[in-house]
A and B are shown apart, each in its own frame.
Chain A
Amino acid sequence: MLAYVMRRLGALVVILFGSSFLLYNLSAYSTDPLADLRLSDAPNKEQLILTLTRELRLDLPPALRYFIWLRGVLGVFVGNPNFGLTRENEPVIDAITGAIPTTVRLVLVATFVAIVLGIALGITSALRQYTRFDYGMTFFAFLLFSLPIFWVAVLLKQYLAIDFNDFLVTAKITPGWIVGLSAAAGFFWAAIISGTRKRVTLIFIGVFVANSIFLSIISATEWLAYPRLGPIAIAVLGVGIAYGVTYLSMGLSDKNALKTTLLMVAVGTVSYFPAQAVLDSNRPRLGMLVLFLILLAVSVGGAYIFARIDRGPIIRTSIITSTLIGVLILIDKMMQAWRPFIESDDVNYRPVATIGQSTIWLTEVPFWVRVLDFAMHLILPTIALTLISFAGYIRFSRGTLLDVLNQDYIRTARAKGLTERTVIMRHAFRNTMIPLTTIMVGDIAGIVGGAIITERVFGWQGMGTLFNKAINSFDLNLLMGVILFLSTLAILANLIADLLYSVLDPRIRVGAGK
């Protein structure tokens, strides 16, 4: 194993050397850093050209300049790396380390949502194989596959930012929209739950009516303009969460699990009141941590009180429930900051942003307004990235689950008389995760460098923007820094995927073949 890893790392060095030499020379020959100056009408043009030649060592051929650059990079091994300066005299390493958190923020949420939603829809689709829902999902997935992100971004900005902001001025939902949205929700749920014609019709009508009422209330109360949850809504939603999580993980027949999660809902709702003071304090991050730890302790304690058998899974279920309720409390806190946020001069009643990472000039505002600002800037790029990347997860998890469901051990599990929930969640789903995991690793590595277009259309300053900028401003040091970082990441991700595969599936051993 160790020998295998060392061998792979050795190959990494060779690949990086070769590719960086090639790319350095190709880039150097393809660009002309003096282009602007050749057209300059400055009286001291010659002087300017000399200065730049001196700064960039343009007097040397690119192959030689590469080794000057390489000497700095090899400083990595003596603890003194020098990736050079950008054209703007900023150390390349600073530019890259500055861009990584932005890219991670952009990619992390989108990838997480894409994985969760993609797998959920994929599994539902597999369980309803060859139904209208399945065909619908297949159509949807291929539709998303074929969408170019710059176009998706333009549409999202038009409908979810510009039009939605216009709509928020009154926040009145027209009857047409209420009927349309409710019908869509009705079709969706009727298709998922399915059954006899009568049952489907009933579900459709039920969902349609419930949705219409819900939307009418939202519209009448201008809830979207003045959003809030409050303890009552948190309690109601919490009970829903408790039932849902318990159903998926333990089954509703497990009364102990249900009692524990319901206890967590009660504790969470009560903690809403002290939480306000904690979150309003001047150390909100510390407050959140304390709050989370308390909820964690209570959920473990509750599980110990109610559960006699199956303590481990019940603790897990209860932790998931309390985390979700904690998230609800935070969402409520952000909603409380909504009015001060949109009424500020800088936001000016246009809360959903189309561009940038934040309203930077929004200074001296409460912590939660600042958080809300970040969230409103994150929302569109996240939706765009999620939309185009989760189609893959839908198709992949559907295919894998169908494959697993045809295995003998599933038939055995059903023959044993296990409930369908246990068969799916415990036996089938876990095995579906093995190939999915390796895909996720590669995906995350790829997406870090691949968000160039997303970053550009949404004005984010991450790795993609750096790469783009390096090319456009003939910035060889920056370009090489980014390429080096991305290629290292790609090679390492492949290595990790290979290793993970052997960890998850004992039948695979790395480095065994001689």
Chain B
Amino acid sequence: MKVTRIAKVAIATAAAAGLAVGTLSPANAATRSTVVLVTSNQLTGLNPSVSNMNLTFNSEVAYMQGFGFNYYDNSPKLVDNKIFGSYKIVSQKPFKVQYTVNKGKVWSDGTPINAVDLLLSHVIASSSYSFTAKLGDPTDNEVAPAFNSLSYGGVYDEHHVGLPELSKDKMSLTIEYDAKIPDWQIYGPGPSPVHTLVLMAEGKKSLQSVKANIAARDKFEKAFYSYNTKLMTAAGKIWSNDYNINTVNDSTNPLLLVGNGGYILKTAVPGQAVTLVLNPKHKSNPSGPATNGIKTVVFRIIGDGTAAAQALRNQEVDIYQGQPTADSVNLLKAIPTAKVIGGDQAVYEHIDLRVDNAAGSTDNYTGPFKGMDQRAVDLRTAFLTAYPRDEIVDKLIKPINEKAVRMDSLLVFPSEPGYADVIKNSGVSKYTQGSQAEREARALALVKKYYPNASATNPGFTVKLNWGTPSNARRAASAQLVKAALGRAGINVDAPGSATWSRNLASNAFDAFFFAWVKSSVTQQGNANLFCSDCGNNYLGYQNKVVDAANTKLGAVLLSPKAKLAEYLKIEKELMKDAVSLPIFQHPGVTAVNAKLQNVKPNPLSPQLVWNYWEWKYSK
């Protein structure tokens, strides 16, 4: 009796529920309008040109908010943004470049953009301007200048002549240089909303009318050309300090957030997320005013790799640049709703050998590789010959990036034009000929010249190898492979690994070093200055007149691509002959993207993922 009643109730309920289900059809998900990226860093400031805000992530956020004359694509190649404006050489001698802003471009507060907005680039990069306008000495170690900029002492600072000239209609700016400097395109000016600096210097805390904005910009122009210390110092203090915020919300001064990029910062919560919304007045980025329906771009801060992969699987995030390890790649490939994009980073692993005292060291280097005599060169050659580069690439890199290759040129990436020529003629072949076993035998023969009793079980000498630990399983595995291979060549490798490895780079206690260099921009000089005598990043004590001459030439005048490669080849030949350094591999990059999100093309250079944000769109 009781049971039947329960059954009746159940049947009745189920029937009612069935009816209810019939009327409630699940809603269809509309095309999304939000893109969520994973970042492991947090926003620390809105002005990456100041030292304590100069972080990659700050630059990425700033990139989305402002757009100028050119940008790097993912080749990486410099592309002109013809939508915003144009630039051309107006005189070869003296070398003058004219930058013109197209008409109709506006800041997000509605103020039309003109060439006055380009003048700030000069203020923050020219030491002579800082001196003349009494804004402080950028080289002073005690007191920072009013504009506490990172650009002082750079290429622009050293080569520009006089003040930039405005055209009559104020839409063009002409800059004079003392020579046709290499890569002059990337040292040109970019737009900054100077009127907001003036307004903030006057104590304004809200957006003003376009008329007031134009009046403020006129004040800036006047102050710029009259070296008005008072106004420029006030603007400089704002520029150096007020952008140093990690929180953005409704109470943030909106003048700090004025830009001309596709998206404008809306909120930033430390450790959580940074949100940008579509700039309704964007006309300056390469898509012009067109959009692909993406209204919100969010950077979600996730420090943990597994957590990020699971968030991607749960569709909470759309783009994640993963840790390039074999495990994490497999994890990402297993996500059904995401696609994995491989590729290379503009970072390469390499092995360096100490030649002489490190710059700035007080003690003397006395290791086996000291000097340029035949014995030192032979021992260095033996070390580099036996170095198991193929094994490292095959065992540690190929599982992540199937297309990975061993790198054989220190100055040219395998994907760059001219690579094949350089490696054919540089003399690298003495390190690449034959199999690993044959190379080890050749190396052992060289070692035996000086240590006749040396063998695989009885090493001739010991090399102290510096590498970075902890939390880098790949480097630990690399060190193991190196130890084994060089042991077979009669060289004992002492490679304990160190957390403070970067300090040891300038230490005479170490004979060999493996770590990675980043190519942060594509310049003509490239990485040639790593090997010039007494240069800042030459820790090896290596001095070579041929290398110095080629490096100086690369840094001084613009060369044709062919002439540039010829100089590179000169440097590489010396380096291979003297057995100083060898590249190993290009760091692999792994990006996983929501399968529905189109046109995400990772760029090896900063801003890595967001460089083409205007092209992103969701498929249906």
Given A30-B500, A41-B518, A220-B21, output 10 extra A-B contacts at Cβ < 8 Å.
Answer: A36-B502, A39-B517, A42-B520, A44-B150, A46-B536, A88-B52, A157-B310, A213-B10, A217-B14, A221-B17
Cα distance, A465 to B42, chains bound together (Å) = 12
Q: Verify A216–B10 contact, CB threshold 8 A.
A: yes
* CB nearest neighbor in A for B516: A39
Nearest CB in chain B: distance from A74 CB, A: 26
B313 lies within 8 A of chain A by Cβ: yes
Name the 9 nearest CB pairs between A and B, nearest first.
A461-B271, A44-B153, A221-B17, A88-B44, A220-B17, A35-B502, A361-B275, A355-B311, A360-B273
B269: chain A residues within 8 A (beta carbon): 360, 461
Cα distance, A343 to B32, chains bound together (Å) = 11
Q: Verify B267–A88 contact, CB threshold 8 A.
A: no
B302: chain A residues within 8 A (beta carbon): 355-356, 459
Contacting B at CB under 8 A, from A22-43, are 30-32, 34-36, 38-43
B298 lies within 8 A of chain A by Cβ: yes
* CB nearest neighbor in B for A461: B271
Contacting A at CB under 8 A, from B298-333, are 298, 300-304, 306-308, 310-311, 313-317
Q: Verify B17–A44 contact, CB threshold 8 A.
A: no
Q: Verify A360–B32 contact, CB threshold 8 A.
A: no
Q: Verify B52–A38 contact, CB threshold 8 A.
A: no
Q: Verify B314–A346 contact, CB threshold 8 A.
A: no
The 9 listed contacts between A and B (C-beta, < 8 Å) are A38-B505, A44-B153, A47-B152, A348-B34, A354-B310, A360-B298, A361-B267, A457-B304, A461-B272
* CB nearest neighbor in A for B506: A38
A169 lies within 8 A of chain B by Cβ: yes
Q: Verify B314–A216 contact, CB threshold 8 A.
A: no
Q: Verify B298–A361 contact, CB threshold 8 A.
A: yes
A350: chain B residues within 8 A (beta carbon): 314-316
A90 lies within 8 A of chain B by Cβ: yes
* CB nearest neighbor in A for B537: A41
A345 lies within 8 A of chain B by Cβ: yes
Tell me which of B33, B301, B303 contacts A345 (CB under 8 A). Answer: B33
Interface size classification for chain B: 35 or more
A209: chain B residues within 8 A (beta carbon): 6
Q: Knowing A345-B34, A355-B307 are in contact, say whether A220-B18 is a contact too (CB < 8 A).
A: yes
Q: Verify A41–B520 contact, CB threshold 8 A.
A: yes
A54 lies within 8 A of chain B by Cβ: yes
* CB nearest neighbor in B for A342: B27
A217: chain B residues within 8 A (beta carbon): 10, 13-14, 17
Nearest CB in chain B: distance from A32 CB, A: 5
Cα distance, A138 to B312, chains bound together (Å) = 37
Cα distance, A457 to B316, chains bound together (Å) = 15
B191: chain A residues within 8 A (beta carbon): none
Q: Verify B20–A221 contact, CB threshold 8 A.
A: yes
A154 lies within 8 A of chain B by Cβ: yes
Q: Verify B155–A43 contact, CB threshold 8 A.
A: yes
A225 lies within 8 A of chain B by Cβ: yes
B296: chain A residues within 8 A (beta carbon): 346, 361
Cα distance, A361 to B150, chains bound together (Å) = 33
B420 lies within 8 A of chain A by Cβ: no
B33: chain A residues within 8 A (beta carbon): 345
Nearest CB in chain A: distance from B565 CB, A: 20
B515 lies within 8 A of chain A by Cβ: yes
Q: Verify A52–B314 contact, CB threshold 8 A.
A: no
Nearest CB in chain A: distance from B16 CB, A: 8
Contacting A at CB under 8 A, from B1-36, are 6, 10, 13-14, 17-18, 20-21, 24, 26-27, 29-30, 32-34
Contacting B at CB under 8 A, from A162-180, are 162, 165, 169-170
Q: Verify A355–B17 contact, CB threshold 8 A.
A: no
Nearest CB in chain B: distance from A428 CB, A: 38
Nearest CB in chain A: distance from B144 CB, A: 7
B529 lies within 8 A of chain A by Cβ: yes
Q: Knowing A217-B10, A356-B273 are in contact, say whether A169-B26 is a contact too (CB < 8 A).
A: yes
B153: chain A residues within 8 A (beta carbon): 43-44, 47
B316: chain A residues within 8 A (beta carbon): 350, 353-356
Q: Verify B307–A457 contact, CB threshold 8 A.
A: yes
Convert A44-71 into 0s and 1s, putting 1 for each residue whose CB lies closer than 8 angstroms to a CB of B: 1111101111110000000000000000
Convert B39-79 into 0s and 1s, putting 1 for each residue whose CB lies closer than 8 angstroms to a CB of A: 00000110000011000000000000000000000000000
How many residue pairs at the A-B interface have CB separations less than 8 Å? 189
Cα distance, A89 to B315, chains bound together (Å) = 34
Binding site for A on B (CB under 8 A): 6, 10, 13-14, 17-18, 20-21, 24, 26-27, 29-30, 32-34, 44-45, 51-52, 138-139, 141-142, 144, 150, 152-155, 244, 246, 266-267, 269-273, 275, 296, 298, 300-304, 306-308, 310-311, 313-317, 499-500, 502-503, 505-506, 515, 517-520, 527, 529-530, 536-537
Nearest CB in chain B: distance from A460 CB, A: 8
B13: chain A residues within 8 A (beta carbon): 217, 220-221
Cα distance, A226 to B30, chains bound together (Å) = 19
Q: Verify B141–A54 contact, CB threshold 8 A.
A: yes
Q: Verify B310–A39 contact, CB threshold 8 A.
A: no
A443: chain B residues within 8 A (beta carbon): none
A204 lies within 8 A of chain B by Cβ: no
Q: Verify B52–A55 contact, CB threshold 8 A.
A: yes
* CB nearest neighbor in B for A219: B17
Nearest CB in chain A: distance from B472 CB, A: 14
A169: chain B residues within 8 A (beta carbon): 26
A456: chain B residues within 8 A (beta carbon): 303-304, 307
Q: Verify A222–B307 contact, CB threshold 8 A.
A: no
Binding site for B on A (CB under 8 A): 30-32, 34-36, 38-48, 50-55, 87-90, 95, 98, 150, 153-154, 157-158, 161-162, 165, 169-170, 209, 213, 216-217, 220-222, 225-226, 343, 345-346, 348-350, 352-358, 360-361, 363, 456-461, 465, 468
A355: chain B residues within 8 A (beta carbon): 300, 302, 307-308, 310-311, 316-317
Q: Verify A89–B52 contact, CB threshold 8 A.
A: yes
Cα distance, A395 to B26, chains bound together (Å) = 46
* CB nearest neighbor in B for A153: B307
Q: Knowing A157-B310, A162-B310, A213-B6 are in contact, say whether A345-B30 is a contact too (CB < 8 A).
A: yes
Cα distance, A161 to B307, chains bound together (Å) = 12
Nearest CB in chain B: distance from A462 CB, A: 9
Q: Knowing A41-B537, A350-B315 are in contact, say whether A360-B307 is a contact too (CB < 8 A).
A: no
Cα distance, A221 to B10, chains bound together (Å) = 12
Cα distance, A361 to B271, chains bound together (Å) = 14
* CB nearest neighbor in A for B250: A363
Cα distance, A162 to B335, chains bound together (Å) = 11
A55: chain B residues within 8 A (beta carbon): 51-52
Cα distance, A169 to B33, chains bound together (Å) = 20
Nearest CB in chain B: distance from A196 CB, A: 22
Q: Verify A346–B34 contact, CB threshold 8 A.
A: yes
Cα distance, A220 to B537, chains bound together (Å) = 69
* CB nearest neighbor in A for B138: A47
Q: Verify B34–A361 contact, CB threshold 8 A.
A: yes
Q: Verify B29–A32 contact, CB threshold 8 A.
A: no
A50: chain B residues within 8 A (beta carbon): 141
Tell me which of B307, B314, B519, B520 contacts A458 (CB under 8 A). Answer: B307
Nearest CB in chain B: distance from A193 CB, A: 20
Cα distance, A458 to B141, chains bound together (Å) = 42
Nearest CB in chain A: distance from B529 CB, A: 7
Tell me which of A32, A213, A360, A459 contacts B275 (CB under 8 A). Answer: A360
Nearest CB in chain B: distance from A340 CB, A: 11
B34: chain A residues within 8 A (beta carbon): 345-346, 348, 361
Cα distance, A52 to B144, chains bound together (Å) = 11
Cα distance, A393 to B44, chains bound together (Å) = 42
> Which of B26, B300, B316 is most buried by chain A, counting CB atoms within 10 A of its CB?
B316
B138: chain A residues within 8 A (beta carbon): 47
Q: Verify B155–A41 contact, CB threshold 8 A.
A: no
Q: Knowing A345-B32, A459-B304 are in contact, say whether A162-B313 is a contact too (CB < 8 A).
A: yes
Q: Verify B307–A354 contact, CB threshold 8 A.
A: yes
Q: Knowing A88-B52, A88-B246, A161-B314 are in contact, say whether A461-B270 is a contact too (CB < 8 A).
A: yes
Nearest CB in chain A: distance from B245 CB, A: 9
